[in-house]
Structure 1
Amino acid sequence: MSYETLTKTFYRLAQLEHAGSMLGWDQQVMMPPKSNEARGRAMAELQVLATEIIQQPAMADAFDAAEQNQDALEPWQQANLRQMREAWKKANVVPKELVEAKAMITNECEHAWRSLRAENNWKDFEPTLQKVFDLAREEAQALDNALRAEKGYVNAYEALLDIYDPGTRLARVDSVFSELKAELPTLLQQVLAKQQASGAPMQQQAPVDKSKQIALANELMAVLGFDFDAGRLDEAAHPFSGGVPDDSRITTRYVADNVVEGLMGIIHETGHSRYETGLRKDWRYMPVGQSMGMGVHESQSLFFEMQMGRSAPFINAIAPIVQKHLGSDPAFEAGNLRKLYTEVKPGLIRVNADEVTYPLHVILRYELERDIILGKADVKDIPDRWNAAMQHYLGLNTEGDFKNGPMQDVHWPSGAIGYFPSYTLGAMTAAQLHAALVQAVPNAAELIGRLELQPIFDWLSANIWEKGCLLSYDDLMVEATGETLNSRYFLEHIKGRYLS
């Protein structure tokens, strides 16, 4: 077996992943509720099949043969070989029985979450969530036991973090989060005082029909370069961007009396989509051609939503489009939209949080899931610890409010444990990338104000999208911005937007 044989194997795996992605999209968007168990079995079987393929004993010989001849490979092929080996090593230490069990229980838990959250029913939700965490801990321990010496993991939770953000370690996360915990509370009070003096924004006056919201979403997605011949927008309980690079699927929620909230969610998900669809076509189906971890992925969605989408030039430019579709409500005038989209207000819901308070929502979840995986807390402790942390970080009480507390996110029931730090790492990455963009394209703000966005997309494409997994995260940041991740860009962005 050779490098070419390995690429054929990973091509097969990519097709299975394609099928699983589409089944997952249908499950969350269109599937009848009674079909969930059968769908869960089908999706679990796809994962087992993929595991059996990558765990073939002959794969070890294939990698040995390919690496003996890697000097003959082009640089991108060498990177692809490295990424294939990385995936192979991780897949070989997690038994296929565990893969199947995790797929089945997360399917069950996510399905239960949809109804039990609406009922505020933590009591019935907790036992299934406990099973999810038990299997996540088992997976983490398997990865840590087998790969600690090679990867330098400090504990089992770090092995889960490495799944979502390859190469990121707790030392970086804890250092960054410690700085944010030290600085954000003071910044928050300063921003609240400043905004109180300037007055609150006007709220939407009357409900807006869903058809008008859809028309607005479609026009703004087109402005942002979304290709409707290779993707679509639908509704789901929890907004997400899914599908595959050649068939992008975005979902959202429509709220009749709070249109502006959902609009930024659509811009956020479009950022995810543009990253996926912007990956190199000639590296398609290969690990090197895939997106680089969720921190970079979130940086693209947050670049679209926060750095660009909530900027004054962008809001001024889209205000006429908003009014065209939604009417002449004074709340939709440019000046008020700017206030609405930069209002800072501690709230219960992470996805609705402003830039200043959002990292505190993430830190809360990170500290909880980390401690559960490491045996320092139990699932039954989540409501009390959640409430204590919300009161400490944001001064809010969630006692008894499970729907708007620990049941609000789909991540834990779906098994995405180790994911949450990516949001704040992504926000900091986005701020640093934006600072580099402004240096490279000095008239970026003017272009955004005219909705002439192609130069922005071209810069992102050249520096992020087309790189795939060719580089490590640190090397990617150095090439794009001149340095590794530096949290000062995020903090300077917050001060510049909210305090200047």
Structure 2
Amino acid sequence: MSYSTLEKTFYRLAQLEHAGAMLGWDQQVMMPSGGNDSRGRALAELDVLNTEILQAPALADAFAQAEQDKANLNDWQLANLKQMRSHWKQATSVPKDLVEAYAMATNECEYAWRSLRTDNNWTDFEPLLQKVFDLTKEKAQALNNALGAERGYANDYEALLDIFDPGTTMSRIDPVFAQLKEAIPGLLTQITEKQNAASPIIQPSAPVDKAKQIALAKELMSNLGFDFNHGRLDEAAHPFSGGVSDDSRITSRYDENNVIEGIMGVIHETGHSRYETGLPKDWRFQPVGQAMGMGVHESQSLFFEMQLGRSAPFIDAIAPIVKKFSGNEAAYQADNMRKMYTHVKPGLIRVNADEVTYPLHVILRYELERDIILGRASVSDIPERWDESMSRYLGLDTKGDYKNGPMQDVHWPSGAVGYFPSYTLGALNAAQLHEAMLKQIPNAPQLVASLDLEPIFDWLATNIWSKGSSLSYDELMVQATGETLNPAYFLNHINSRYLG
């Protein structure tokens, strides 16, 4: 067995992952409620099948042979071999029975979450979430026991971070989050005072039909380069971008009294989709051709949503489109829309948060999930800890409001523990990438104002999308921006947009 055999194995895995992605999309968008148990079993079996393929004893021989043949491999093949080995080692670290139990528990909890959240029912939700966290702790411990020494994990939680954002550690996160916790409250006070002194925002006078919002979303997606021959837009309880690179599946949710939420959700998910569809085609079915990690993934969605979508030139450019579907009223004039899109106010819901307060939502979740995995807190502590943190960070009370508190996100019920830090790391990356892009395309604001966005997308394709996972995170940022992650760019962006 050799490197070519490994490529064939991982090609097969990619096809199974394709099937799983589509089954998962259907489960959240189209599947009748009665199908959940059998769908959960099918998805769990796919996870087990993937694990069995990766845990086959013959693969160890294949990797040994490939190491001996490294001199005959080109740079992309060498990078692919490194990624394949990483996937293999993670898969061989977790027992198959734990993989199956974890898949079944997360399927049950995520599906129940949809109705229990609507009913504000923490009592019935807690034991399901407890089971997910118990199995996640087992998984984290298995990964740390097998890979901790080699990869430098300081604890079990870092093994989970590494799944979603390879190479990210608490030693990277904690100083950055500490800097944000110190800087944001002062900025928030200054921004709030400035906005309170300005003329008030004009609110829409009438609801906007969901069908019109969907038509608006599709037109905006087209302007952002979304290819409807290779993707579609649907509705789900929680917005997400899924599918595969050649068949992108975006979902959003709509509120007839809040067009902003639907628009920004769609722009965010389109950023995810453009990254996936822009990955190197020659390596589409190999690990090196996949997205680098969620910190980079979120940098692309937040580049679209925050750096482009909430910029004055973009808002001015889309105002006529918004009015076409939402009505020709004062609320949708460009100057008022700018105020709506950049209004800063602490709120309960993370996905609706402005970019100033958003990091505090993420830090709250990071601190909670980290402490649960490390045994410093329990699942039963979540409501109280959540309320304490929301009060401390944002001055808000969430007592008894589970729906808009600790039950609002799909991540924990679906097992995505270790994911949340990627959102804020992605926001920092997006600000740094945007600044680098402006240095190379100084007329970018004028291009945005005319919705001539291809030069910007070409820059992203060249510097981010086409790289796949061929580089490390630090290498990618240095090549694209000239330095590793630097939170100063995000803080400068906030100062410039809101206080400049």
Q: What whole-Å deviation, never above 9, does each CA across 1:359-382 have from its counterpart, x for those lacking one?
A: 000000000000000000000000
Q: CA deviation at 1:203?
A: 1.3
Q: Distance in 2 between matches of 1:23 and 1:200?
A: 46
Q: Does 1:372 align with 2:397?
A: no
Distance of 2:126 and 2:239 partners within structure 1: 23
Contact 2:213 2:262 in 1 (8 A): no
Map of 2:466 onto structure 1:
466
Residue 332 of structure 2 corresponds to 332
> Stretches of 4+ moved more than 6 A in 1?
none
The answer to whether 1:96 aligns with 2:96 is: yes
- Inter-partner Cα distance in structure 2 for 1:347 and 1:299: 23
Quick one: distance in 2 between partners of 1:305 and 1:346? 19
Counterpart position of 1:446: 446
Q: Counterpart amino acid of 2:26?
A: D
Q: Is the 8 A contact 2:428 2:489 kept in 1?
A: yes
Gaps of 5+ in 1: none
- RMSD, aligned CA: 0.5
Equivalent residue, structure 2, for 1:394: 394
Which whole-Å CA distance do the structure 2 matches of 1:390 and 1:458 have between them? Answer: 40
Within 5 A, what are the aligned runs for 1:73-222?
73-222=73-222
Q: How far, CA to CA, are the matches of 1:353 and 1:77 in structure 2?
A: 42
1:432-471 deviation line (CA, Å, top 9, x unaligned): 0000000010100000011000000000000000000000
- Number of the residue aligned with 1:306: 306
Secondary structure at the aligned position of 1:242 is classed as: strand
Q: Secondary structure at the match of 2:291?
A: coil
Whole-Å separation in 2 of the counterparts to 1:459 and 1:157:
35
Q: Deviations over 1:420-439 (max 9, x none)?
A: 00000000000000000000
Partner AA of 1:243 in structure 2: G
Query: 1:328-387: CA deviations, max 9, x gaps?
Result: 021111001000000000000000000000000000000000000000000000000000
Does the 8 Å contact 2:80/2:287 carry over to 1?
A: yes
CA drift of 1:262 comes to 1.1
Aligned to 2:343: 343
Are 2:313 and 1:285 equivalent residues in the alignment? no
State the AA in 1 paired with 2:161. L
Q: Distance in 2 between matches of 1:72 and 1:402?
A: 57
Secondary structure, counterpart of 2:331 in structure 1: helix
321-330 or 468-477, which moves further after superposition?
321-330
Partner of 1:431: 431
**Amino acid in structure 1 at the alignment position of 2:496:** G
Give the whole-Å Cα distance in 2 for the aligned partners of 1:60 and 1:141.
Answer: 23
Rounded to whole Å, the distance in 1 between the matches of 2:141 and 2:81 is 26
- Distance apart, 1:201 and its partner CA: 1.3
* Segment drifting more, 252-261 vs 292-301: 252-261
> Aligned-pair distance for 1:477?
0.2
Which residue is 1:40 aligned to? 40
Letter in 2 for 1:11: Y
Q: Determine whether 1:353 maps to 2:330.
A: no
Alignment of 1:29-68 (within 5 A): 29-68=29-68
Question: Could you tell me whether the CA contact under 8 Å between 2:243 and 2:249 is conserved in 1?
Answer: yes
Query: 2:237 and 2:152 mapped to 1: Cα distance?
Result: 38
1:487 aligns with 487
What is residue 258 of structure 1 aligned with on the other side? 258
Identity rate, percent: 72
Paired residues, number = 500
Q: What secondary structure, in the 3-state scheme, does the structure 1 residue paired with 2:407 have?
A: coil
Residue type matched to 1:178 in 2? A
Aligned residue type for 2:331: A
Q: 2:318 is aligned with what amino acid?
A: I
CA drift at 1:12 = 0.6
Cα distance in structure 2, aligned partners of 1:160 and 1:53 = 22
Which consecutive residues of structure 2, in runs of 5 or more, have no partner in the other structure?
Answer: none
Return the alpha-carbon distance in structure 2 between the equivalents of residues 225 and 356 of structure 1: 27
Q: Distance in 1 between matches of 2:487 and 2:115?
A: 39
Question: What CA distance in whole angstroms lies between the structure 1 residues aligned with 2:204 and 2:17?
Answer: 42
Could you tell me which amino acid in structure 1 is paired with residue 45 of structure 2?
E
For residue 39 of structure 1, report the CA deviation from its aligned partner: 0.2
The SS at the match of 2:416 is coil
TM-superposition CA deviations, 1:45-93 (whole Å, max 9, x none): 0000010000000101100100101111110000000000000001001
Q: 2-side partners of 1:329 and 1:419: how far apart?
A: 40
Q: What secondary structure sits across from 2:437 in the alignment?
A: helix
- Please report how far the alpha carbon of residue 200 of structure 1 lies from its aligned counterpart in structure 2 after TM superposition: 3.0
Report the alpha carbon displacement of residue 95 of structure 1 after superposing the two structures with TM.
0.5
Q: Which amino acid aligns with 2:299?
A: S
Q: Counterpart of 2:381 in 1: which secondary structure?
A: helix
Which letter maps to 1:472?
S
